[in-house]
Structure 1
Amino acid sequence: MPLLTVYRSGVTSLLWLLSGLLVTPVIATTNDIVSLDNYFSESWSTVDGLPHNTVNAIAQTPDGYLWFATWEGVARFNGRRFDIFERSAVTGLPDSGIRTLSVAQNGDLLVAGSRGGIARVNGHQWQSYPPLGVLINKALVDSQQRLWLATEGEGVVMQTPNGSRRQFTEDNGLPANAANSVFEDSKGRIWVGTRAGLAVIDPDLVLRHPFPEQITSPVFALAANAQQQLLIGTERGLFLLNEQQQLTQLLADVPVATLLPEASGVLWIGTVDRGLLRLYNNTVEQLSIEQGLPNNRVLALLRDKERSLWVGTNGGIFRLRDAPFTTYTSEQGLADNYVRTVMSDQADCVYVGSSRGLDQICNGIIRNIDLSSHAKGQSVLSLAMGQQQSLWIGTYTDGLLHYADGKVIAHYSSEDGLAANEVRAILPRADGSVLVGTAQGLSLIRDGQITTPVEAVALPSPFIMALHQTDDGRVFIGSGAGVSVWQNDRVTQLDFSVLDQAEYAFGFVEDPAAGILWMTTDRGLVAFDLATEQLALIGRSHGMPFDKLFQLVIDEQQHFWISTNRGVLRLGREQALDVVYGRRDQINYELFGESDGMASAQANGGSSPAASLHNDGSVWVATSVGASKVQPARLSSFSAVIPPVVLEKLVADGKHYSLQQSVKLAAGTSRIELEYAGLGYIMPHRIQYRTMLEGFEQDWVARGTQANVQYTNLAPGHYTFNVAASYPDGGWSPVAATISFSIAPHLWQRPLFQALVILFLVALVIAIVRWRLASLKRSELKLKRQVAEKTAELAALARLDSLTGLANRRAFDEAMQHELKRAKRQQEPLCLALLDIDHFKQVNDNWSHSVGDEVLKRVAATLQQHCRDIDSLARWGGEEFVILLPDTSLPLAQEVCDRLRQRVADTCFTDIVPDLTVTLSIGLATLQVKDDGKQLLIDADRALYQAKNSGRNTVISHNSFTSDESL
């Protein structure tokens, strides 16, 4: 978009066009004017966050921030966001109205304005001074570190570094007490512009009024050019004071508000009501509201470190800057802004087809090609270069035109057999024939004759948007339903169903070195291997930001430029090949749009070609607002600028902290957020960042364009955060922005506390081990006791009869041995009785063995119940029992046994068997002097036998029946 209207100072043009005159008319040539083709404009206002649309002053501090003085505070700009500083405890200013900004030699920013408020800004720290009580129009720190203040009604105030002040007013010879500006020249003189003229204060602080007659109008601006000549901007023109102290008027009747001279000799002039002027080599250019300036009152000018020009107006901020893209529109002479196709002739020119005609751009000069004689609408859809630099032109409604030697030499339409008059793709071939892709199918023109090489029904869609022929003769046809391949009168269809359901094919570019035909589709970039005929898609799953891609161009630096509805993508060719062959799964890209010089980020597709590579290496793109071009080789110049980086915010658990060198955070801090900004203004949204948190991370971490980072649950300790910035493909900030912070530990996180805890734990472990060992010892003793008890229990069980619970024969033998020894040792009597149940066999035979077992248990229980405690009762076997009666004489033993016999006889067994009675026969023997246990048993057994023979249910002692036998 043209930003500046150029006025050359020939004869009388400048008089009329600027309503002023050059005192000395000069002649200038076009070559003297610096081209502004690559300049791009942007503007900001209150809608974008500016506190007020009147911008009184602009400054850039060494850290890279831009500052804008307004009547509602000073705005600090980082390229993406305005931070507003107004009357507050932070600034210490008495009023929010800021009139002037000035950067001192040490880098501090001086802020002054309404009510005489003065503040000094160093980094994030504000220091205020006692206000003057009157509006300050200009502030200056001179080479001797003295502060000069131009006030609205109190003249000029000078403050020395020690704080003392001196005032210059009308009483001292100042032309007026209303001072607008102050400026220090190379000789240390202070020039003062007042409402009534110019004054100068020499190094000895002597004030003079040097031009009381020549300069009587208000002086608003003072500056020095490259030759250190004083430039004086007044309400009625611009003056120059040379080294001989001669005053020359450069512009008359131009109200100059501000001046910005540059080392190149360019002088930028901000005017009160005529916008922005540029004076260079006696050529004046004007930029006003008509060319996009927010307002014609220009109050401030600044050239920043990236060479962008910032303009402060009554309507907001305006910027002129170099940009990657340059856009040609109707304002520069294009037939129409809606451009559908662009094509390089591979010589000096580029052809631009739009909805209202065809243009030729050669070396920046636009020439319209009149097609009205053959194309009523002159709406151009497609272009192609034919033989001998002839031009094929496809239109929207008028068919196909063949243009050569400055005229249309042939015209083909549906009336001549063309498939349709809407021609979107043209393919001239080596044999001189031309394939034409239309909205209704494919046509072939050979020697002026039109044929249909492929029937429309043979194509998946007759809506053809792109054509390409490879060296082996294959013709690729891009349509609204995929890609067809035509070769040797045979048509095949590529299977796009495996490519995320792609349908539309907008363009083809052959990559001979890779053997790939690249296809732009509505699902991404498709790679077709010309040898293997394999298809691969680079789409959303690989990081592509959009589905629909229109046209691909491969530049000389081996980058892909792809037009889309939402800007132009740039990505590396090698990366694309790596994705195709599975060597990586994500693609990196850059997206260019309006902020990069394009009048519109919306590129156009569906026609051919929608983008083109020119022979000078530039890439041209058809957009909805003009034809945009980018010179890829120039991108390195943008990347060569390394943006400074600053830290802007540190927030811990929702609390904001001052950005001092070391920040101490409370114990338990769990969430820390840091915001930073790369202070670059050419491509602020594409600035890349990397960070490293020393104490947590070992190396840099790439953050992309993310301008903040968060850390959670950091351990207590000391950390240093570093951040660096760069433009894409550029170098990183040589000096990273750094801030240190520490997180205090909780009491339980302190080393002493942890040592005590460790000692406690050690003691606790020792106690637990000891308790465990003691517990194991107790368990061992308990186990031994249980084993002993179980052993004793088992031993006891081994000595008992399992049926009756009486001692068994083994236990009785042990008891008898014991009693035998004791009886002999103590000479005590010992008796033994054998008991047998009478007729027990009949019980088993008549009522079963189970009844017999019950009888045995009942007899055993009766005997055990009525035996003496000193007696030993045992089951001898079968239905026999034995009783050992220690320390018992035979008569007494006779009584005991008879009592037991009677008890058994009296026992009731009817619950076992009705009417059952049980009796015992008992044989009793006593130990003789020479007897042993064996003999005692024999004697008792003989006595039992005798009792059985004596009628049973009786007690017979061995002595009694032996006495009878002796008789």
Structure 2
Amino acid sequence: MARRSARFPAFLLLLLLALPAAALETKPLASHARDVWTTRNGLPHNQVNDITQSDEGYLWLATWEGLVRHNGQDFELFGPHNVEAFTDQGIRAVSARQPGTLVVATSRGGVMLLREGRWNRVGVAQGLAQEETMRAELDRRGRLWVAHETQGLVRIDADGAVRRFTEADGLPSNQMFALHVDVDDVVWAGSSRGLVRIENDRVRAFGDADGMPPGAVYAILGARDGGLVIGTHRGVFRGRNAEFRPHEAGFPDDAVASLAFDPQGNLIVGTVNRGLFRATPQGLERFSRAGGLPNNRVPALFVDREGSIWVGTNAGLLRFADTPFGSFDTYQGLADNYVRALLQLPDGSILIGNSGGLDRWQDGRITPVAREPGGIGTEAVLSLAHGKAGEVWVGMYSRGLYRLRDGVVTEHLGERDGLSGLQVRAIHEADNGDLWIGTSTGLFRRRPGEPVRRFGEEEGLPSAFIVSLLQSRDGRLWVGTSNGLAVREGEGFRPIPVRSLFDAEDVFGLHEDAEGALWLATDRGLLRLKDGRLAGVGVRNGLPVATVFQVVEDGYGNLWLTSNRGVIRLQRQQVEQVLAGSLERLEALSFAEADGLASAQCNGGAGPAALRAFDGSLWVATARGVSVVQPDQLARYQRAPPPVILERLRVDGRERPPGERVVLAPGESRLDVEFASLSYRMPEQIRYRYRLLGFDDAWTDSGAVRLARFNRLPPGKYRFEVGAETRGSGTASEIVGFDLEVKPRFWQQPLFLVLSAILAALALYALYAMRVDALRAREQQLRRLVDERTQALVEKNLELEHLAEQVRRQSSAYELQARTDALTGLPNRRHMEERLADAFAEACRDGKPLCLGLLDLDHFKTVNDSFSHAAGDRLLQEVAKVMVEVMGGEHPLAHWGGEEFALLFVDATLEQAADTAERIRRRIEAIDTSDFAPGYRPSASIGLASRTGYTHHERMIYRADERLYAAKRGGRNRVES
């Protein structure tokens, strides 16, 4: 960015000056998006010795198993296996400082030069002192400088003249490690015994008197002020005019293997033992293996043209990309990466509730809150809210609710205070002092001077599982549950029928806009409740996901949604148009890990799980930390991608060099064109389109696919064009392409085609005449055959009718068998679920009662284990007989599975069902098991549920199952309703 600042328009400069100070600070490396590549991802070797970028934009990596070219998506290997000029696969260094040429230093194969697509090797025969090379560079005059492993330096001029420099010429040592040619063609080299400069063939070594420590120099970097930065075995030194001193940033006294400047001009240092360091205005920053560096030895550093920082280590390649989102995790001090709740305090700091407790972010630093004895401890925090008196309410996963003032616990609400639900997912303190606490078992209200009161389904809530709370500006309390939305009315709640729209149930987040409209984040999309009318947008309207957790507005007319698949930005105007019916689909912009999100899995079901801070930044809770984005800075990340490169052409599988004009010879039928836009910041977001003018002038959108294939093109002249664009940026790269000509075969020539057409017409007429005669004869034969076949079909139909009747009878028998349990003779679970669905729909329509019971035999496993499975089967049959006798055919029943039975009470109240279930329980208790399970006394637990309050029969099954387990927990052999 610093290199481009001189070309900024004045108004952009003013805009930058107007940004908050935090926005201009250097983002920590740990908050950058990070990607790691190893041999599992396509690298031939995990150690990356050097990195550079060539003119066309390719990244080149030096490894021990060959030279690697990277286009942002794939790694392509160059070495002895596919390039004849290579004699060694061990690559120590690669350089592209001089335009049009790539210089490669190998460990035992001399130096390789790539010019205009051709490789040439420079070895001992061309003037090198030995084949073992450490580094190689070209100066501006085209002279090749080579640092050898043990034989000093060699310069090979453009005319082939050779000049060698050794200890005899003033080098402190013949063992060389580093090489740098500055803008004035002055050569700087690092040896095992110090730094040396060569200018006009004069050699000068630097030592203690010049401020340089004795010993090895491993890295040399040219600074923007014309000076040098030197990496030594004793840390980092910098100098100008041949006077050196330790770097003022205070880098550690450790061997330095690599150096680079980031886009802001901050020095990055790769060490041999301690990982990565960077000197920023905020201080010295370290990034090591503990934070995700593949290895603490860093032999290579490079900053590409897009500002991404590439780090080559002994265990893989890592890239830091400055992306829209920055992230904070345990590396910056979070107690745990699983973040559930966020809250901004009046002083601008952010409270972060996570699975390890509560943390506070302020001025880039994260510190623990109330972690000490007597505080909230290290258990999971689910929710946060402001108190009216300046305190903070903290909802825990299993320990109720805490009140904090200045980070100190002043109150704890738990079971002894009437808060029976200790999993606190939402909190709100109303203007009148009422404290509302949303838990997994109900909504609780603590009113001054009154005991804590619970509200549940009996008071009108759609579900007792509370996930969100909001008090609108008109004073009404809105409650989001796992089964819909409700608004408080008096001492009760009125459900809002959100299921009528997209069949939504879970209301994870609530947001009120400036116009008083209520926005709902649900499991079926984004809903809006305005003036009593409900509307929404979902997947069918272009929303990338069905489930969204939180809604946040920025100051630029956008709605931001969090989800399990990242963060989604919607233009508010477009959403309103879809809701009004004037627009069919949204243009959603999605953000995921490639955009810097700590994790695409954003959290919901508690919170607030996202917020808009005072400075306009948006904070999002994820499964791997908290992520932050400044909406007003998105534009600088949405650049047009670089121009597309035509990587290779293949004709019938054979590769050809790309050019301005491609000619396909007669008979060549398949053309493959591979292309790439060499962007490394977010290559996953680049989308391609291509066309072949003269064949199909319309553009073909290929998405992320970088291949165009054409088969059997007719002879002619065409123009192939390809371009790229970055998702959501609205800008595209320049169009590139080539001319294509497909030559015709001899029989595709115009004269040949005319003669062929005449001959074909004559042949067709002759065939037509012959065919007419043949058809007349065939007609007579077919008439005779039809008469014979008609009689045979009449006889066959009689046989088929008899067979169809047999099949119908057999099908009826199979249908009965599929719906009946063979052991007990009762209907099976499938049959019962169908009966329950029909009965539930009928009862809802007619307003009649309906109950469902689930019966489980207590200690049934004892019968199988102590007696036999045959005894268990006998007991199930006896129980089935009892149930049939008691139910008397009045109500359906079924063998639910294992030792469980289901009882359906049609047109029966819960009290009537409980009475019948109690009679069944007593009859089961009286079953005589002496002849098959002596000494065993059978008993059963029964759970009952009525349809009241449910909108689907599966909720009745779930409720009956809950009551069955309640009967089990209550001591078994009982009916629980």
Q: Same fold (TM over 0.5)?
A: yes
Distance 1:733 1:454, change over 3 A: closer
Aligned partners of 1:253, 1:198: CA distance in 2, in Å? 17
Residue 56 of structure 2 corresponds to 63
Residue 382 of structure 1 corresponds to 383
Residue 72 of structure 2 corresponds to 79
Q: Does 1:340 align with 2:303?
A: no
Residue 154 of structure 2 corresponds to 157
Residue 417 of structure 1 corresponds to 418
Q: CA deviation at 1:641?
A: 6.2
Residue 307 of structure 2 corresponds to 307
Aligned partners of 1:581, 1:178: CA distance in 2, in Å? 76
Residue 105 of structure 1 corresponds to 98
Amino acid at match of 2:392: L
The 5 A counterparts of 1:494-509 are: 494-509=496-511
Aligned partners of 1:633, 1:407: CA distance in 2, in Å? 36
Amino acid at match of 2:157: T
With 677-686 and 388-397 compared, the bigger mean Cα shift is at 388-397
Q: What do residues 530-585 of structure 1 show as CA deviations (whole Å, max 9, x unaligned)?
A: 2252343402x444443332222222233332222333233333343344344444
- The share of aligned pairs that are identical, in percent, is 37
Residue 131 of structure 2 corresponds to 134
Distance 1:545 1:362, change over 3 A: same
Q: What do residues 609-628 of structure 1 show as CA deviations (whole Å, max 9, x unaligned)?
A: 11111121111112222222
Residue 28 of structure 2 corresponds to 36
Residue 435 of structure 2 corresponds to 434
The 5 A counterparts of 1:518-597 are: 518-522=519-523, 524-531=524-531, 533-539=533-539, 541-597=540-596
The 5 A counterparts of 1:244-263 are: 245-250=242-247, 254-261=254-261
Distance 1:88 1:401, change over 3 A: closer
Distance 1:396 1:289, change over 3 A: closer
Q: What do residues 684-715 of structure 1 show as CA deviations (whole Å, max 9, x unaligned)?
A: 21123333433344465544444334445543
Residue 624 of structure 1 corresponds to 623
Aligned partners of 1:31, 1:239: CA distance in 2, in Å? 31
What secondary structure sits across from 1:257 in the alignment? strand
Q: Does 1:270 align with 2:285?
A: no
Preserved contact between residue 360 and residue 369 of structure 2 (Cα < 8 Å): yes
Amino acid at match of 1:382: S
Aligned partners of 1:433, 1:123: CA distance in 2, in Å? 77
Q: Which structure has the larger Rg?
A: 1
Preserved contact between residue 398 and residue 421 of structure 1 (Cα < 8 Å): yes
Q: CA deviation at 1:216?
A: 4.9
Residue 468 of structure 2 corresponds to 466
Could you tell me which of 197, 214, 217 is aligned with 1:200?
197
Q: What do residues 757-801 of structure 1 show as CA deviations (whole Å, max 9, x unaligned)?
A: 57879x979x999x99xxxxxxxxxxxxxxxxxxxxxxxxxxxxx
Distance 1:618 1:704, change over 3 A: farther
Residue 837 of structure 1 corresponds to none
Q: CA deviation at 1:432?
A: 3.5
What secondary structure sits across from 1:520 in the alignment? strand
Residue 217 of structure 2 corresponds to 219
Q: CA deviation at 1:594?
A: 3.2
Preserved contact between residue 85 and residue 91 of structure 1 (Cα < 8 Å): no
Q: Does 1:392 align with 2:393?
A: yes
Q: CA deviation at 1:488?
A: 4.7
Aligned partners of 1:605, 1:497: CA distance in 2, in Å? 20
Residue 358 of structure 2 corresponds to 358
Q: What do residues 5-53 of structure 1 show as CA deviations (whole Å, max 9, x unaligned)?
A: xxxxxxxxxxxxxxxxxxxxxxxxx999955264344322212211111
Q: Does 1:722 align with 2:724?
A: no
Q: Does 1:145 align with 2:142?
A: yes
The answer for unaligned runs of 5 or more in structure 1 is 1-29, 773-967
The RMSD of aligned alpha carbons is 3.7
The 5 A counterparts of 1:505-516 are: 505-513=507-515, 516=517
Q: What do residues 355-382 of structure 1 show as CA deviations (whole Å, max 9, x unaligned)?
A: 3333332333334332764756653222
Preserved contact between residue 138 and residue 151 of structure 1 (Cα < 8 Å): yes
Would you say how many aligned residue pairs link Structure 1 and Structure 2? 736
Q: CA deviation at 1:487?
A: 3.2
What secondary structure sits across from 2:533 in the alignment? coil
TM-score, scaled relative to structure 1: 0.69
What secondary structure sits across from 2:299 in the alignment? strand
Residue 477 of structure 1 corresponds to 479
Distance 1:768 1:162, change over 3 A: same
Residue 909 of structure 1 corresponds to none
What secondary structure sits across from 1:449 in the alignment? coil
Preserved contact between residue 166 and residue 173 of structure 2 (Cα < 8 Å): yes
Q: CA deviation at 1:320?
A: 2.9
Amino acid at match of 1:688: R
Preserved contact between residue 641 and residue 726 of structure 2 (Cα < 8 Å): yes
Distance 1:149 1:330, change over 3 A: closer
Preserved contact between residue 538 and residue 579 of structure 1 (Cα < 8 Å): no
Preserved contact between residue 358 and residue 370 of structure 2 (Cα < 8 Å): yes
Distance 1:671 1:463, change over 3 A: farther
Q: What do residues 865-924 of structure 1 show as CA deviations (whole Å, max 9, x unaligned)?
A: xxxxxxxxxxxxxxxxxxxxxxxxxxxxxxxxxxxxxxxxxxxxxxxxxxxxxxxxxxxx
Distance 1:434 1:319, change over 3 A: same
What secondary structure sits across from 2:254 in the alignment? coil
The answer for unaligned runs of 5 or more in structure 2 is 1-21, 770-977
Residue 817 of structure 1 corresponds to none
What secondary structure sits across from 1:115 in the alignment? coil
Amino acid at match of 2:163: R
Amino acid at match of 2:197: V
What secondary structure sits across from 2:559 in the alignment? strand
Distance 1:421 1:64, change over 3 A: same
Aligned partners of 2:649, 2:114: CA distance in 1, in Å? 19
Amino acid at match of 1:685: E
Amino acid at match of 2:482: G
Residue 26 of structure 1 corresponds to none
Amino acid at match of 1:538: G
Preserved contact between residue 299 and residue 314 of structure 1 (Cα < 8 Å): yes
Aligned partners of 2:562, 2:618: CA distance in 1, in Å? 11
Preserved contact between residue 657 and residue 663 of structure 1 (Cα < 8 Å): no
Preserved contact between residue 33 and residue 283 of structure 1 (Cα < 8 Å): no
TM-score, scaled relative to structure 2: 0.68
Q: What do residues 124-164 of structure 1 show as CA deviations (whole Å, max 9, x unaligned)?
A: 55444556551221111102111111122343222222334
Q: Does 1:118 align with 2:111?
A: yes
Aligned partners of 1:478, 1:263: CA distance in 2, in Å? 46
Preserved contact between residue 375 and residue 408 of structure 2 (Cα < 8 Å): no
With 339-348 and 97-106 compared, the bigger mean Cα shift is at 339-348
Amino acid at match of 1:580: L
